[in-house]
């Protein structure tokens, strides 16, 4: 950074111009706000010949006296409402203000100035179209600066605006870069996790199916269900998924119009991204079983899916039932408990820290889940 | 063969079911299978006999499994991590073996053999 202070204090139009050029060069190579302030306060003071200079940042509805260079203390570190100080006035009105005697101007909060040396000032906003800062030059005497001095301060203000903008762009690029690297790592993790789920499904489907043909059909349907669960996750940017959305997706393959075969009644509940995959897969397995042996295997049967949340319990408890009605008579549980049954009985309950049961009553299958609300499953706001 | 009761902490039910299945094939019994750090800690503190080994996922629904790992280490129970995170920092557990996901049954077998010989 150039050292403006060490130079001889005699100013001529030539040295002023040189200082201005050097300031612009210095600002174009400067990004951190502290360094910008350092360049600005020194250059503005030297070029204006003022007794003091303040560099003020806009901080929402406050002016923040960020840095100063003056013969006596000003307001460094303090914040004032935009509407109660002259730097705020300059920023809000997007114009340079020249005040030869501050005590004759009621835009000035006189009490704040009384402890200081200031008698007159120039304040110019930084970035005219939408000011983000202001540069103030102060004199101990009543004073009207020459028009070319005001112009030079405005030139410094423009160079400062560019420096602040390039700093902001630089910061957002660095952030974007970090974010990109983080996302890639996260993606890697999720892909591997999803592959582990696929591995699990393939292994356990293979174990439970008698022939390659049967394997292909069941496996493909499970992978399709998994893929739909992910589609929903992606659409929600891996945020929370609504239970109703999951139901629509997971049950759609089993009834063109859900209401034809399903009675779905319950309050709006959301699931975390991870858990929504288990919810989806559990619903898929329940529906597959219903379509194969249960209520959805004939034209008449229906599934009644109801859930309630007992908010008086601590923690609040969800009770959900999937009850099949109107299907063929059920003669008892299947002889062997396959992957689907295991998923139904254990998967979701395990994820949610609850209990699930699958009962084969003569009238139809009843699946019951009781689980506490948590980060993984909550009532929609 | 020595008895081999293995504990599992894994938040993804489908993956947990597979690990249980694989361990079963390797002649192990499942001492307990947990989807949350709190549940695993509660079980360890319940007076149940300590397992002979453990397979721990690292990120359990956004929570790190390390409190469980610390408890196991204190009790001298050997364990391995199973994770999809390539290079997750594992403070204090740098020497613990990591099984990558998807899980290679051979790697799991080696881990189980390690449990039986009493290595971490």
The DSSP call for residue B100 is E
Residues 6+ apart with CB under 8 A from B28: B4, B5, B6, B112
Percent of chain A with pLDDT over 90: 62
**Burial letters for A2-18: b for 16+ Cβ neighbours within 10 Å, e otherwise?**
eebeeeeeeeeeeebee
Query: In this predicted model, what pLDDT tens digit does every residue of A329-339 receive, in sequence order?
Result: 988 887 777 78
**Nearest chain B CA: its distance from A196 CA (Å):** 4
Q: Name the residue among B13, B17, B103 with its Cβ closest to that of A348.
A: B13
Q: What is the mean pLDDT of chain A?
A: 90
pLDDT given at position A7: 44
User: ipTM surpassing 0.90, yes or no?
Assistant: no
**Nearest chain A CA: its distance from B87 CA (Å):** 9
pLDDT given at position A338: 78
pTM, two decimal places = 0.71
The band of A10, judged by pLDDT with boundaries at 50, 70 and 90, is low
Taking contacts as CB-CB distances below 8 angstroms, the residues of chain A near B85 are 185, 189
Q: Answer whether B13 sits within 8 Å of A347, measured CB to CB.
A: yes
- Residue among B11, B13, B37 with most chain A CBs within 10 A, to mutate: B13
Q: Name the residue among B15, B22, B100 with its Cβ closest to that of A197.
A: B15
Mean pLDDT value across residues A239-264: 91
- Residue A31 in this model has a pLDDT that exceeds 70: yes
A157 neighbors A135 (Cβ within 8 angstroms): yes
- Residue A1 in this model has a pLDDT that exceeds 50: no
Mean pLDDT value across residues A186-199: 89
CB pairs under 8 A between A and B: 83
pLDDT given at position A255: 86
**A8-12, A83-87, B111-115: which range is least confident on average?**
A8-12
Mean pLDDT value across residues A69-88: 94
**Nearest chain A CA: its distance from B111 CA (Å):** 18
Mean pLDDT value across residues B102-107: 93
- Residue among A350, A354, A356, A372 with most chain B CBs within 10 A, to mutate: A350
| Nearest by Cα to B83 from B103, B112, B53, B110 | B103
Query: In this predicted model, what pLDDT tens digit does every residue of A319-373 receive, in sequence order?
Result: 999 999 999 998 888 777 778 888 898 888 988 889 999 999 999 999 999 999 9
């Amino acid at each position: 950074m150039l050292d403006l202070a060490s130079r001889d204090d005699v100013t001529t139009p030539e040295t002023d111009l040189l200082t201005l050029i050097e300031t612009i060069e210095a600002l174009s190579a400067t990004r951190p706000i502290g360094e910008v302030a350092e360049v600005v306060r020194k250059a503005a003071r030297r070029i204006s010949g003022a007794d003091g200079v303040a560099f003020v940042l806009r901080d929402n509805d406050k002016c923040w006296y960020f840095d100063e260079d003056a013969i006596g203390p000003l307001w460094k570190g303090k914040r004032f409402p935009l509407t109660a100080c002259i730097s705020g006035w300059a920023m809000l009105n997007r114009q340079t203000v020249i005040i030869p005697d501050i005590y004759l101007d009621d835009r000035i909060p006189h009490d704040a100035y009384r402890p200081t040396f200031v008698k007159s000032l120039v304040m110019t906003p930084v970035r005219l179209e939408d000011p983000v800062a202001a540069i103030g030059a102060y004199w101990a005497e009543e004073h009207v600066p020459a028009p070319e001095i005001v112009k030079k301060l405005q030139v410094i203000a423009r160079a400062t605006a560019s420096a602040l903008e390039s700093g902001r762009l630089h910061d957002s690029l660095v952030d974007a870069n970090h974010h990109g690297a983080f996302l890639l790592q996260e993606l890697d993790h999720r892909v591997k996790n999803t592959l582990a789920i696929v591995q699990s499904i393939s292994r356990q489907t293979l174990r439970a199916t008698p022939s390659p043909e049967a394997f292909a059909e069941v496996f493909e349907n499970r992978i399709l269900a998994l893929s739909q669960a992910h589609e929903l996750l992606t659409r929600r940017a891996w945020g929370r998924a609504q239970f109703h959305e999951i139901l629509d997706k997971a049950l759609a393959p089993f009834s063109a119009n859900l209401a034809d075969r399903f009675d779905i009644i319950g309050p709006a509940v959301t699931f975390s991204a991870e858990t929504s995959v288990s919810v989806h897969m559990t619903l898929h397995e329940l529906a597959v079983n219903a379509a194969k042996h249960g209520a959805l295997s004939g034209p008449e049967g229906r599934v009644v899916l109801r859930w309630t949340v007992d908010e008086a319990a601590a923690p609040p408890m969800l009770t959900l039932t999937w009850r099949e009605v109107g299907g063929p008579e059920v003669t008892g549980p299947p002889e062997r408990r396959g992957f689907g049954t295991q998923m139904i009985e254990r998967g979701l309950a395990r994820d949610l820290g609850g209990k699930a049961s699958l009962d084969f009553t003569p009238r139809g299958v009843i699946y019951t889940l009781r689980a506490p609300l948590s980060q993984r499953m909550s009532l929609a706001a | 063969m020595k008895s081999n009761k293995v504990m599992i902490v894994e938040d993804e039910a489908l993956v947990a079911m597979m690990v249980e299945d694989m361990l079963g094939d390797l002649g192990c019994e499942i001492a307990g299978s947990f989807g949350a750090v709190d549940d695993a800690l509660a079980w360890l503190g319940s007076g149940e006999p300590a397992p002979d080994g453990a397979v721990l996922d690292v990120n359990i629904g956004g929570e790190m499994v390390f409190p469980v790992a610390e408890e196991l280490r204190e009790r001298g129970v050997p364990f391995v991590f199973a994770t999809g995170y390539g290079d997750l920092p594992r403070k204090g557990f740098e020497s613990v073996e990591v099984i990558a996901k998807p899980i290679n049954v051979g790697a799991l077998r080696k881990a189980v053999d390690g449990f039986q010989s009493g290595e971490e």
